[in-house]
Amino acid sequence: MKIFEPHAHMVSRVTDDYERMRDSGVRVVLEPAFWLGQPRTSVGSFVDYFDTLLGWERFRAAGFGIHHVCTLGLNPREANDDRVNAGVVELLPRYLEKNGVVGVGEIGLDDMTAKEERWFLAQLVLAKEHDLPALVHTPHRNKRQGFLRCLDIIRDSGIRMDRVLLDHGNEETVKITRETGVWQGFSIYPHTKMDPPRMVAILRQYGVERMIINSACDWGVSDPLSVRKTADLMAEAEFGVGDIDRLVWGNPVQFFSETGRGTEAEWSTPPASTLGATHAGNSFLRGQSVETWGKRA
C-alpha cells in the first residue's frame, strides 16, 4: 500500500515515527506550517521555521525514504497576533515558489475573529497568485458555523473551489461541504476529532470522491499511523483495493500535484537517501555509521 500522508507536523516527531510510517507504506509526507504550541513573538521565528521545513525536515525525511513536501502559511491562531501577522503574510511570497512547497496552509479560522478572517482572505489571494492549492484549518469549536464562514470567505476570494481542502471535518460538516466542490479533509485522532470506525462509516455513506484523510500528528497525543489503520479498517469492511488506494494515495496526489509542484511518478520513486550525509554539518545518525544503524536491534 502506498500512502500520501497529507497532514503531519513532523518537526514534532522522532525518527521512530519516520521508520514506522515508511514501514506502513508512507511514501510522501506533507507538513503544513502551524502553531508550535505557544505563540511566536517575532517574524524571524517564522523565517527559521519555514527554512526548517524546507531544509532540515526534508533532509531528515529523505533519510527514511520518504518525500517531504510542505504548505506554508500563517495559522489562524497567530493571525490574531499583531506582533507577527502582517509581517508573516508579507514574507510569504518569498517562500511560495520554493521547491517542496505544494500549497498555502494551514490557513483558515479558529476563533472566527475579524483578524483571522482578514488574513485568511489575504492568504487565499496569495494562493491564487502563486497558482497553489489551499489547506484550510477549520474551527474545533462551533464547527458548523466555522465551516459556513470559511466557505463564504473562500467564495469571496475567487479561488477555485477544487483548489481548496477544508480540513478537520466530521459527520456534520460533510453534509455542508459535499456539494460545494471543495475537497474534504478528516483528521484521524486516537480520541478526538475523528476515529477510524467513524471515518469508515462516513466513507461507506459518501464514498471516497474528493475525500482525504490524515493523521494531523503533532506534539500532542496523536498517531502517525492513523491513515494506515483507517485503510486497514476499510479493508476489513470490504472496501475495494481501488477505493482504498484512491483515498490514501490517489486523492492527495491529485490535489497537491495539479498545479505542477510534484508528480505521481516523482513521489512514487523514493528520494535519494540522506542517511549518513549531513545537513548544515548535522546528521541524524548521531555519529553512528549507516551500517551500525542498519544492524540495530
Partner 1 sequence: MIAWPPLRGRLSESELAGLAWVQAKIGNSQTQRLVWLASLPRRVGKRALAPELVKAGVATLNLGAWRAADVAAAVEFIEASLGEAALVELWDHGDQEERRMVGRSVCLGLGDLATPLLWDRAHRQNDQILFEATFLDSDHLARLADDEVWARAVLKAAFLNLDLARLYGFERRLPDTLQECLADFAAERRAAGRPVWPGTYAIAMLGENPRLLTLLTADRRSTDPTTQAQIADATRLAESVR
Binding site for partner 1 (CB under 8 A): 54-55, 59, 93-94, 96-100, 260-261, 277-282
Cell of 219: 506534539
Q: CB 272 → partner 1: shortest distance, Å?
A: 9
Q: CB 103 → partner 1: shortest distance, Å?
A: 15
Of 25 and 87, which has the nearer Cβ to partner 1?
A: 87
Query: Which 3-state string (H, E, C) describes 190-247?
Result: CCCCCCHHHHHHHHHHHCCCCEEEECCECCCCCCCCHHHHHHHHHHHCCCCHHHHHHH
Our measurement of the distance from residue 81's CA atom to the centroid of its chain's CA atoms, rounded to an integer in Å, reads 23
Of 145 and 282, which has the nearer Cβ to partner 1?
A: 282
Q: CB 14 → partner 1: shortest distance, Å?
A: 23
Q: CB 99 → partner 1: shortest distance, Å?
A: 5
Of 48 and 172, which has the nearer Cβ to partner 1?
A: 48
Q: Is the torsion defined by CA of 104, 124, 217, 52 positive or negative? A: positive
Of 142 and 292, which has the nearer Cβ to partner 1?
A: 292
Q: CB 270 → partner 1: shortest distance, Å?
A: 17
Of 281 and 287, which has the nearer Cβ to partner 1?
A: 281
In DSSP terms, 135 is beta-bridged to 105, 165
Burial class (CB in 10 A: 0-12, 13-18, 19+), 62: buried
Burial class (CB in 10 A: 0-12, 13-18, 19+), 35: middle
